[in-house]
Amino acid sequence: MLKKWLTYSLYVIAIVAVGVLMGFADARHANKTISGLNISVVDFDTLKFVNEEMVSKVVRSTYDSLEHKSKNAVDISLLEKKIQKMSSVANAEVFVDIENKLSVKVEQRNPVGRIISSDYNCYLDVNGNKMSLSPMYTANVMLIDGEVNKNNLNEIYALITYVRNNEVLKAQLVSISVDKNNEYSFRTRKGNQVIEFGKAENIEQKFDKLLIYYRKTVSDFGWRRYRKINLKFANQVVCTKR
């Protein structure tokens, strides 16, 4: 009985000792000081909306001096929220790395179209949300103009998404216009043609007709034979000569 009691007591003491040591180690780790700032901006080679200097200013405005500040004195969550408030930032991750540097990884928002209308002058991003223009960088994306308003933004986003997912359409269609009847037309890169799309209905079928036109008619007559390509009518493509 005594032997069992001693074994149990030693087991409890061992667990307590390990807990104390771990707590001491955690405390030492938390009290280590920040050795510097490391900022990484994802896709900076292709998108230039956010740079390291801009992120650094946000960090420095929150903590004037990071060096020699203990880890537990830095509010990671607060920094992430402040950086994510930047209009061109999609996501921010802040952490202390193994070298005790405060590391900030920033993911930029990705625009897919630029809207110019009486209601908007902004980008439309890859998630279909409005995105402010930036003095730092101008993205080469599809232009959207005409009668753009809050009621047709989802339609416009659906059209752009379909175009972006097809390499032929993505290479050829450069702009979208919306008229007062909420009908859409596209301008082309080659041939300077107007693609009369009509309502944002039967999107797949209409684009399929356009792709068939490109495969068959363009190969026979070239890009400049027609100035307008009308996709509004079912089961046909109506072309207007120059």
Phi and psi at 220, nearest 5°, equal -90, -40
Residues 136-149 pLDDT 10s: 999 999 999 999 99
Using DSSP's 3-state secondary structure scheme, residue 138 falls into coil
Class of domain 111-241: alpha beta
Residue 58 Cα to chain centre, angstroms: 20
Q: Cite the residue boundaries of each domain of the chain with CATH code 3.10.20.310.
A: 36-108
Q: Give the least confident one: 58-62, 120-124, 164-168.
A: 58-62
Q: Give the least confident one: 18-22, 61-65, 107-111, 232-236.
A: 18-22
- Angle formed by the axes of helices 52-62 and 76-84, to 10°? 130
pLDDT of residue 15: 58
Q: What is the mean pLDDT of residues 14-31?
A: 44
Sheet containing 89-96: order of strands: 36-42, 101-108, 89-96
* Stronger pLDDT, 1 or 53, i.e. the higher one: 53
Residue 89 Cα to chain centre, angstroms: 8
pLDDT of residue 18: 41
DSSP-H helix ranges across the chain: 2-31, 52-62, 76-84, 153-164, 167-172, 203-221
Q: Cite the residue boundaries of each domain of the chain with CATH code 3.40.50.11690.
A: 111-241
| pLDDT above 60: residue 8 | no
Query: Could you tell me the pLDDT band of residue 218, with boundaries at 50, 70 and 90?
Result: confident
* C-beta atoms surrounding 14 within 10 Å: 10
Using DSSP's 3-state secondary structure scheme, residue 123 falls into strand
Q: Are 124 and 145 in contact (CB under 8 A)?
A: no
Query: Could you tell me the pLDDT band of residue 184, with boundaries at 50, 70 and 90?
Result: very high
Tokens of 111: 């625009």
pLDDT of residue 1: 55
Q: Are 85 and 170 in contact (CB under 8 A)?
A: no
Distance CA 92, CA 176 (A): 32
pLDDT of residue 26: 43
Q: Give the least confident one: 9-13, 40-44, 105-109, 229-233.
A: 9-13
The residue written with tokens 């999107």 in the block is: 203
Query: Could you tell me the pLDDT band of residue 63, with boundaries at 50, 70 and 90?
Result: confident
User: What is the dihedral sign for C-alpha 206, 211, 213, 214?
Assistant: positive
| pLDDT above 60: residue 229 | yes
pLDDT of residue 30: 44
Distance CA 190, CA 222 (A): 10
Architecture, CATH, for domain 36-108: Roll (3.10)
Query: Could you tell me the pLDDT band of residue 7, with boundaries at 50, 70 and 90?
Result: low
